Structure 1
Amino acid sequence: MVETRPLEDDAARPILVPNEVWRDPERSPDERVDDLLARLTLAEKVGQLGSRWALNDMTADADTAAAAAPDAPAGPGSDAGDALDPDEVLNVAPMQDVFAASGTIALEDAAAHGLGHLTRVYGSVPITPAGGAAEVMKQQRVVTNASRLGIPAIVHEECLTGFTAFGATVYPAAIAWGATFDPDLVERMAAAIGRDMAALGIHQGLSPVLDVVRDYRWGRVEETMGEDPYLVSMLGTAYVRGLQGAGVIATLKHFAGYSASRAARNHGPVPMGRRELIDIMLPPFEMAVRLGRVGAVMNSYSDIDGVPAGADPWLLTEILRDTWGFEGTVVSDYWAVPFLTSMHGVAADMDDAGVLALEAGIDVELPDTLGFSQHLVDRVASGELEEAVVDRAARRVLRQKIELGLLDPDWTPEGSVTRAEQVHLDSAENRALAREMAERSVVLLDAGTALPLMGEGRPAPATVAVVGPAASDPRTFMGCYAFPNHVLPRYPSRGLGIEVPSLADALAAELPDARLVHARGCDTRGDDRSGFAEAVEAARQADVCVVAVGDLAGLFGHGTSGEGCDAADLTLPGVQGDLVAELLATGTPVVVVVVSGRPYALGEIAGRAAGLVQAFMPGEEGGSAIAGVLSGRVQPSGHLPVQIPRHPGAQPSTYLQPRLGVGNDGITTLDVTPLFPFGFGSSYTQFAIDGLELSATEIATDGEVTVSARVTNTGDRAGDEVVQLYLRDVVAQVTRPVLQLVGFARVSLEPLESRRVSFTVHADRTAYTGRDLHRIVEPGDVHVLVGASAGHLPCRAVLRLTGETRVVGVDRVLDTPVHVGPAERVSG
């Protein structure tokens, strides 16, 4: 048994005694887990499968929350017109107000037999790093003292746009990562997030989101990295490497199919067949498991063809573990286990829901223990549940705790947060990284006649009207999982907790010699047009008008984008479209900046605007990044991870479609041709892509080919281009996409500089799921296309695959290695 001795603050440190293999760091993880499982009672094994959200009890009471962080500075606020009604319920998880009441058991009681996880110590209330660290130590002491063997809990937190904590850096939303087409940058960002979290005792981060966009109306588009499986795969796996390299377990979500709900309704049913699921939705998860060696996966809330993901052994066990070899833990999305009863109706009650989820392959229930409670002990005793199923999940949780060092003899609650006093959650280094990410994510759609504002040969404007809700409210730069939008609307006196200059402020700094006139015009939501007249007059008196419109992220109806904030169509929210129309009618050149979490239909604006820019929620440094692009100081280099539609109602339609899903050919009145295609991005220089070469025109169905093309900066400014490789399967067993991205490279070039980009393409990259649901590579012609977007592919060739149709398994090649050659000068 484990002996203990008292420490300060009633803490207890386990002392290694002879034959305690489970506490011996010199023994293998398997040996340690075997030893510990043999010592645990069934009730203690079950205890490791649960969690407790202790600070959730405080979120309904602002005074209590403030008391938890008495030294928390208020931070800057905003002059936003979009305010939260103080009487409204603000949940940070679905149906939190309903289920929180069921989870108010004291932490001491919840941990009586041990506890798997502690939920969101930092991300539930505005608490300082020091205050949060003290709370982590306090809760860990309760957990270790309450149970017989003193096993600590894993502490998890959200980290989609940075560590979701008060005062932490807010990086761009995930959809902006997609716009960078830069896995290395995403990995560096994730590593910075992980370092901050690890320093404060956080063991697991609930990111990244690997859902592939299928319908732009879905509120959580902002949390995704785009509509292409390969782009999401590469960036998501890079995030996993960065976060886990810093010592924090990454969590893939939402497994799987969540983003394809009917009518883009959050938590809606997913009417998807196995083939589409396997070929479109699962590849990002497979790459992150097989190549990223991710440590955790979270189930989707959705049911796919009638089977809830949280109760699907085919998905959670056969595919994830038996096929892909996943060895980590599966954690439930918040209250997904009781949802099997209340939302899906596949379980009679919460106890039955717990059995279903556990048997399917969920190992830990989050955020509180409801379905994985001690009733599982009774189910085993009655023969309704095999103890081996409990052991299976407990083994995975305990192994993870061993790998995290939580069961080492020198681990203490105090030691887990030893660097708390040195942590600056919004350091200069973090902000520089956030700025780099923001600048690389802004997409120039059309320079028009006005951009850049300070271009050569064009006098700088003397007077600039800055209009629109996204010009004055810095919250529009942040996603729904950024702390200022996620939690702080409940605490308006706390401001934002970090410095976030608005676009108006950033433009004032960017254009010091210009006179800026600001008029809000309207709010993000609502139908109030009372500010139109002031905005129109400001535009009339200016040399140029910059109007910034788009989204304000929130949760469950408290925003125009974000979880539970789905859209009926792709019209700009509220009366923002009407505001833009009135500004365009003034005759003043109008530059339209869309700051949003989803693409909006811009067909009524493009061609009339003097410039058009898309910024996907660029984070705390978004104002500077957008202003830099507008002025010309920053060379725009972002490319679209989603299409920009022309019409608000011709959706859903991502670029990844079979022949019947594109064009209209006179057979329908709906034309889904985008205004700007997937992968598109303009700049203030020009690029040419040519010189396509294939190392062979025929390869076997298990061979590989090198595809190369030359990219040249033909303009007079340095810049980055994203070279993109697509394939088209000409004839197949089933319908195939007319185009599919299989490789990309971001290339930096000086003026009149050229580089050759080479892609190594294995035949496995043409694999798809055939009629019998086996993934195959088959002989035949494949079109090879290289260019700068799905709509601009000047380099084309035909590759023939020869030999027998080959069934490919889990050992297939998942990625397309790319090599960028040395720079060469070209004649002007």
Structure 2
Amino acid sequence: MTTAPWRDPALPVAARVDDLLSRMTLEEKTAQLYGVWVGAATDGDGVAPLQREMTADYDWDELITLGLGQLTRSFGTAPVAPALGARALARAQRRITAAGRFGIPAIAHEECLAGFTAWQATAYPVPLAWGAAFDPPLVEELGRRIGQDLRSVGVHQGLAPVLDVVRDPRWGRVEETIGEDPYLVGTIGTAYVRGLESAGIVATLKHFAGYASSAGARNLAPVRAGVREFADITLPPFEMALREGGARSVMAAYNDTDGVPASADPRLLTDLLRTDWEFEGTVVADYFGIGFLQTLHRVAGTEAEAAHLALAAGIDVELPTLKCYGRPLVAAVAEGTVPEALIDRAARRVLRQKCELGLLDEDWEPPREGPVDLDSAENRALARRLAEESVVLLDNPDGVLPLPPDTRIAVVGPRAADALAMLGCYSFPSHVLTHHPEVDPGISIPTVLESLRSELPDAKVTFAEGCDVSDPDTSGFEEAVARAAEADVCVAVLGDRAGLFGRGTSGEGCDVTDLALPGVQADLLDTLLTTGVPVVLVLLTGRPYALGRWQGRLGAVVQAFFPGEEGGPAVAGVLSGRVNPSGRLPVSVPRVPGGQPWTYLQPPLGLAGEVSNLDPTPLYPFGHGRSYTDFVWEPVSPEAAEIATDGSHDVTVTVRNAGERAGAEVVQLYLHDPVASVTRPDVRLIGYQRVELAPGESRRVTFRFHADLSAFTDRDGARVVEPGALELRVAASSAEVRATVRLRLTGPVRRPGPDRVLRCGTTVE
């Protein structure tokens, strides 16, 4: 085998893969199409539900004689020291290569949603915080650094980013998303993909497609999105991340849309993804997703039928462990009920990716043993910077913030002294260590209380928990009120506890009926306000919560979306004034807990009006955020123009820092289409630029708008650019318009092709 053409790196990848496939038996080809989750619990109480029912029995030593496609979460299943985990993974790979006829290693994959989900690895802010930062270059650096850590221990593939667009914030996985706008999700997600791929890691786009549009905001629920919502809201982030980011893998979603499960939809996974978008990478199943075609969707009667549906649709790899793509699939091919050509198609894609990763080369070796640091000083510095940029100052009407350095502060609330308040559900401590309570988190996670005491050493800081996150007990209210009454200011730190499948108030499978703060936290806040002491509300959450109940009653409101291991110092820095807040809302903050789902992407009928007594207008709109300095926006030029339906137009605005301290403004560009052949969102984001400014400094921001950015799906299901009037709105948020440029598109209706322009070009001078 060492002299076979498939081992020759000088030959084209396709030629190598074809030669290898021609030498493999049916069983060996099929073995490349599934993963194995070594060490995962099968007692029904593991990381994921249904593990026991969805895992086939196998003998490891016998199984690997056929080869193996994937190794699932060697680091993300149980606490293991990074260096020891790297040695164990290398040892497993050597056993696989020694046992099989061809000596091909498996692709090792891990979760990396908010950092490498491994013990002692940096826990970064969650993706919703990435969206709040509005800083793609910083997120690209985040992806690169996470990718380097993954690569250093022998991992090849990362299951991230999540590109689902928030449609109902009651959904538990909002914390994993980047926001409620497809342009923001696409640009930030693409930056993360570029970073991960630049480190040699295969980025896997999740969840393709429609998962976040579930009915009733329930996890893994049916989706009833229409054609235009699917095409114009759900799909664009995936298209951008594939075309511009170069992602090499896509994960099929759990949901069905209009009765067709994504995992069994060839129009989605083959026609759109492969033919229209020319994707050549691998499609992997979400965990147990192929088996769910039989057990949950009931579109297959047997495991073999589920395997056939998934293969025919275009899923190449069954994850996390073998079930349907194992013995049932081999038997079905032998019986003639499943064409072997489907096996060949999927195996060719898997082997091509392995070839590109160097796993078919004769000289392949796992990473050399040595010390491993997955939480380096550089990592923590990046985590701190991203956390600081993501904190959103929602309100500060009376200038209570920044806090004086020698003031008396009562810190109150269930999130103030809990390190896990900083972390999302896919951080290792929240995701895995709940099953290992005897193990320490493995990383330092300063709390808000600790950080505030360090930040303001001359302040007198007292603390009372007040209540639990979700427990109804109010016995702690009395002490909390006493501490607040003794202070000059009360900092109420409230929010979520991340968890999985009902074990938290936010996270996968932790969906909610409304957007009221969990437990009795709202009552605690009301009680604190009776003291007459100014109350600063700090929210550490995985979703937005309704805050209209306290409008005009709070001294200030600070929002942080699970800001990671450096989130405590970041929040404390904003409270002290060391950090000038620059985060902007990636999701709207509602006024009342009900009246959802609602995002800012509404057509006229979805806005407030006289036809209903219910006003869905958010308390704080998408893109909103305050600063400790003042920015002055100079007039936009030009004010009006006429361009063709395939033309472009530059919009320029000058922003000046008129305050006395450095700060960052986020200049946003929105599109308003007054008249179209189908209803359109009243406004939608089409460009943005974060601008750092010293006191008195001015910068000129130019957006290059292309007519393609006005495209939408018409009544016939085609993407079109229609002639007519448009408005470009330069704004500080979706509701804070600073200037309007009126355009007129001229010429015929145009159908942009696969090379359509996906984003505004932006320059800063």
Code of the residue aligned with 1:42 in structure 2: it is L
SS in 2 for 1:399: helix
Give matches, 1:511-660, under 5 Å: 511-660=456-605
| Matched letter for residue 755 of structure 2 | D
Letter in 2 for 1:417: P
Equivalent residue, structure 2, for 1:31: 15
Distance across 1 between alignment mates of 2:57 and 2:79 = 20
CA distance in 2, matches of 1:48, 1:671: 54
Q: Give the 3-state SS of the residue equivalent to 1:103 in structure 2.
A: coil
- Report the residue type matching 1:743 in the other structure: G
Match of 1:417 in 2: 367
Is it true that 1:95 corresponds to 2:50 in the alignment? yes
Q: Which moved more, 1:277-286 or 1:374-383?
A: 374-383
Q: Deviations over 1:530-582 (max 9, x none)?
A: 11111110001111110100101000001000000001100000011111110
CA distance in 2, matches of 1:448, 1:768: 40
Q: Find the aligned partners of 2:754 and 2:282 in 1 and give their Cα distance.
A: 20
| Cα separation, 2, equivalents of 1:177 and 1:694 | 32
- Partner of 1:112, secondary structure, is helix
| 2:348 is aligned with 1:399 | no
1:68 — aligned with what?
A: none
Matched-pair contact (CA < 8 Å) for 1:22–1:32: yes
SS in 1 for 2:698: strand
Specify the SS of the correspondent of 1:742: strand
> In the alignment, is the contact (CA less than 8 A) between 1:107 and 1:142 conserved in 2?
no
Q: Work out the CA distance in 2 between the residues paired with 1:41 and 1:681.
A: 60
- The Cα shift of 1:462 comes to 3.0
Residue of structure 1 equivalent to 2:410: 465
How does 1:303-314 map onto structure 2 within 5 Å? 303-314=256-267
Which residue number in structure 2 is paired with residue 707 of structure 1? 651
Give the TM-score, by structure 1 length: 0.91
CA distance in 2, matches of 1:760, 1:107: 57
Instruction: Sort the Cα spacing of 1:731 and 1:450 in 2 relative to 1 into closer, same or farther, 3 A.
Output: closer
In structure 1, the partner of 2:29 is 45
**Which amino acid in 1 is paired with 2:53?**
V
Task: Write the letter of the residue equivalent to 1:426.
Answer: D
Give, in whole Å, the separation in 1 of the partners of 2:534 and 2:640: 51
Matched residues in 2 for 1:694 and 1:706: separation?
Answer: 8
1:783–1:797 CA contact under 8 A, matched in 2: yes
1:691 match: secondary structure: coil
**Matched letter for residue 166 of structure 2:** V
Q: Of 372, 379, 384, which residue of structure 2 is paired with 1:435?
A: 384
Q: CA deviation at 1:695?
A: 8.8
Counterpart CA distance in 1 for 2:465 and 2:57 is: 44
| Aligned residue in 1 for 2:425 | 480
**In 2, Cα distance between the equivalents of 1:609 and 1:96?**
46
The 8 Å contact of residues 91 and 555 in structure 1, kept in 2 or not, is answered as no
- Contact 1:212/1:232 (8 A) holds in 2: yes
Match of 1:805 among 742, 749, 754: 749
CA shift for structure 1 position 147: 2.0
Task: Confirm or deny: 8 A CA contact 1:52 1:107 kept in the other structure.
Answer: no
SS at match of 2:364: coil
CA deviations on 1:366-407 (whole Å, 9 max, x unpaired) are 001111113323323333222221111000000110111111
What is the deviation of 1:690?
A: 3.3
How far apart are the structure 1 equivalents of 2:262 and 2:632? 46
CA distance in 1, matches of 2:759, 2:265: 28
Partners of 1:690 and 1:795 within 8 A in 2: no
Q: What SS does the corresponding residue of 2:384 show, helix, strand or coil?
A: helix
Structure 1 residues 695 and 540: alpha-carbon distance in aligned structure 2, compared to 1, 3 A threshold: closer
Residue 461 of structure 1 and its aligned partner are, at CA, apart by 4.5
| Residue in structure 1 matched with residue 401 of structure 2 by the alignment | 452
* 1:134 counterpart (67, 87, 97): 87
Q: Is the 8 A contact 2:132 2:583 kept in 1?
A: yes
Distance 2:148 2:113 in 1: 14
Residue by residue over 1:732-785, the C-alpha shift from the partner in whole angstroms, topping out at 9 and shown as x without a partner, is 111001001000000011122211110111111100000000000010000110
* Residues 461, 543 of structure 1: 8 Å contact kept: no
Q: Where does residue 9 of structure 1 map in the other structure?
A: none
**Paired letter, 2:649:** V
Q: Give CA deviations for 1:605-641 in whole Å, capped at 9, x if unaligned.
A: 2311111100010000000000000000000000000
1:735 is aligned to 2:679: yes
Which residue among 727, 747, 770 is the counterpart of 2:714?
Answer: 770
- Secondary structure of 2:760 counterpart: coil
C-alpha distance in 1 between matches for 2:161 and 2:360 = 27
Paired residues of 2:392 and 2:625 also in contact (CA < 8 A): yes
TM-score normalized with structure 2 length: 0.98
Distance 1:720 1:381, change over 3 A: same
Is 1:783 aligned to 2:727, yes or no? yes
**Equivalences for residues 171-570 of structure 1 within 5 A:** 171-412=124-365, 416-418=366-368, 420-449=369-398, 451-454=400-403, 459-570=404-515
- Partner SS, residue 594 of structure 1: strand
| Greater alpha carbon shift after TM alignment, 223-232 vs 755-764 | 755-764
Q: In the alignment, what sits opposite 1:760?
A: 704
| C-alpha RMSD of matched pairs (Å) | 1.3
C-alpha distance in 2 between matches for 1:98 and 1:385 = 24
Which position in structure 2 is the counterpart of 1:147? 100
8 Å CA contact 1:290–1:325 kept in 2: the answer is: no
Deviations 1:677-727 (A, max 9, x none): 000010100112231114960111111111111112121111000000001
- The aligned residue for residue 674 of structure 1 is 618
Q: Distance in 2 between matches of 1:610 and 1:449?
A: 7
Shift of 1:196: 0.6
CA contact (8 A) 1:690 1:794 kept: no
CA contact (8 A) 1:570 1:600 kept: yes
Q: Is the 8 A contact 2:40 2:46 kept in 1?
A: no
Residue type matched to 1:332 in 2?
Answer: A
Percent of pairs with identical residues: 56
Q: Secondary structure at the match of 2:205?
A: strand
Specify the SS of the correspondent of 1:579: helix
Q: Which amino acid aligns with 2:402?
A: L
Structure 2 residue matching 1:493: 3-state secondary structure: coil
Letter in 1 for 2:310: A
Q: What corresponds to 1:159 in structure 2?
A: 112
- Give the aligned partner of residue 63 of structure 1: none
Residue 51 of structure 1 deviates from its aligned partner by 0.8
Worse-matched range after superposition: 143-152 or 749-758: 143-152
CA distance in 2, matches of 1:452, 1:90: 45
Q: Distance in 1 between matches of 2:606 and 2:694?
A: 39
Aligned residue pairs total 765
CA contact (8 A) 2:624 2:732 kept: yes
Residues 451 and 630, structure 1, Cα contact 8 Å, conserved in 2: no
Alpha-carbon deviation of 1:450?
A: 5.0
Contact (CA 8 Å) 2:640, 2:741: kept in 1 or not?
Answer: no
For the structure 1 residues 27 and 451, does the alpha-carbon distance in structure 2 shift closer, same or farther, using more than 3 Å as the test?
farther
